[in-house]
Amino acid sequence: MATWHRLGTREELLARVPYSLKLERHQIAVFLHEDRFSVISNICNHRGGPLCEGRVRGEFVMCPWHGWEYSVVTGKGPAGYDEEQVPSFAVEERADGVYVQTPPVMPRRLVQHKPSHLLDAHAKPVGAPPRVLGISTTGMDQGNPRFSTSDALLDHAMDMARELVADTQLIRLRDLKFQHCEGNYSKASHACTWPCAITERDPEDQLTAVYEGLVHWADVVVIATPIRWGNASSLYYKMAERLNCVQNQITIHNNMLIKNKVAALIITGGQDNIQAVAGNMLTFWSELGFVFPQFPFIAHSRGWDAEDMQNNVRQVQASDALREAARELLGRAVDFWKVLDQNRAMMDKPMERAGRKANPLVNPEEAIV
Which span (59-67, 84-92, 153-161, 339-347) binds ligand FES, by CB under 6 A? 59-67
How many H helices and E strands in the chain? 11, 15
Which segments of 18-130 are extended strands (E)?
19-23, 26-33, 36-41, 55-57, 60-62, 69-71, 88-89, 91-94, 97-102
67 touches ligand FES by CB under 6 A: yes
65 touches ligand FES by CB under 6 A: yes
Which residues have CB under 8 Å from 314's CB, separation 6+? Answer: none
Q: Output 65 or 236, the one with its CB closest to ligand FES.
A: 65
Which span (58-66, 136-144, 214-222, 257-265) binds ligand FES, by CB under 6 A? 58-66
Cα-based distances in Å from 301 to 28, 229, 307, 311, 329? 59, 13, 11, 11, 17
| Cβ 218 to ligand FES shortest distance, Å | 29
Q: What is the enclosing helix (H) or strand (E) of 328?
A: helix 320-342
Which span (66-74, 82-90, 111-119, 259-267) binds ligand FES, by CB under 6 A? 66-74
Closest by CA to 209, choosing from 259, 234, 253, 243, is: 243
- Range 111-128 burial, b when 16+ CB lie within 10 A, else e: eeeeeeeebeeeeeeeee
332 touches ligand FES by CB under 6 A: no
Which span (63-71, 80-88, 140-148, 331-339) binds ligand FES, by CB under 6 A? 63-71
Which span (61-69, 119-127, 159-167, 280-288) binds ligand FES, by CB under 6 A? 61-69
* Cα-based angle 175, 178, 180 (whole degrees, multiple of 5): 130
Closest by CA to 193, choosing from 119, 114, 247, 118, is: 247
| Cβ 67 to ligand FES shortest distance, Å | 6
Total residues contacting ligand FES (rule CB under 6 A)?
10
What is the footprint of ligand FES within residues 231-270 (CB under 6 A)? none
Q: Output 77 or 293, the one with its CB closest to ligand FES.
A: 77
| Cβ 194 to ligand FES shortest distance, Å | 13
| Cβ 219 to ligand FES shortest distance, Å | 33
| Cβ 185 to ligand FES shortest distance, Å | 13
Q: Output 3 or 359, the one with its CB closest to ligand FES.
A: 359
| Cβ 71 to ligand FES shortest distance, Å | 15
| Cβ 34 to ligand FES shortest distance, Å | 24
Q: Residues 190-229: x/- map of binding to ligand FES (CB under 6 A)?
A: ----------------------------------------
Whether the Cβ atoms of residue 30 and residue 39 lie closer than 8 Å to each other: yes
Question: Computed over its alpha carbons, how large is the radius of gyration of the chain?
Answer: 26
| Cβ 54 to ligand FES shortest distance, Å | 8
Q: Output 63 or 170, the one with its CB closest to ligand FES.
A: 63
284 touches ligand FES by CB under 6 A: no
Q: What is the enclosing helix (H) or strand (E) of 186?
A: helix 184-187
Cis, bond preceding 103 (omega within 30 deg of 0): yes
63 touches ligand FES by CB under 6 A: yes
Type of residue at 313: V
Closest by CA to 361, choosing from 199, 248, 257, is: 248
Which segments of 63-156 are extended strands (E)?
69-71, 88-89, 91-94, 97-102, 131-136
Q: Which residues pair with 61 in a beta bridge?
A: 56, 70
What is the footprint of ligand FES within residues 37-56 (CB under 6 A)? 44, 46-49
Residues of this chain that interact with ligand FES (CB under 6 A) are 44, 46-49, 63, 65-68
